[in-house]
Amino acid sequence: ATSGIGAETARVLAKKGVRVVVGARDMKKAMKVREKIQEESPNAEVILLEIDLSSLASVKRFCSEFLALDLPLNIL
């Protein structure tokens, strides 16, 4: 969700008050996306988690971190 349709989807969902968890390989880009979202929607809750889909270890770490947040998964 650091560019294109992913970033736009995150922006629109956050604007509607949805808590958004952004999985990103490039955390610098993810932070810029979160900043832009929060400029438009200051109360937006955007959580950034690092993930590299080419690495099974990274995917497992992301899953563990997400589960530790104890949040519902409504849209994937």
Interval 4-61: pLDDT, tens:
999 999 999 999 999 999 999 999 999 999 999 999 999 999 999 999 999 999 999 9
- DSSP letters, 10-70, are HHHHHHTT--EEEEES-HHHHHHHHHHHHHH-TT--EEEEE--TT-HHHHHHHHHHHHHHT
- Alpha-carbon distance of 39 to 11, in angstroms, equals 11
Please state, in angstroms and rounded to a whole number, the distance separating the CA atoms of residues 33 and 2.
6
Domain chopping of the chain, boundaries: 4-69
Say whether pLDDT at 76 is over 90: no
- What's the pLDDT tens digit per position in 41-52? 999 999 999 999
- 3 DSSP assignment: S
pLDDT computed for residue 75 by the predictor: 81
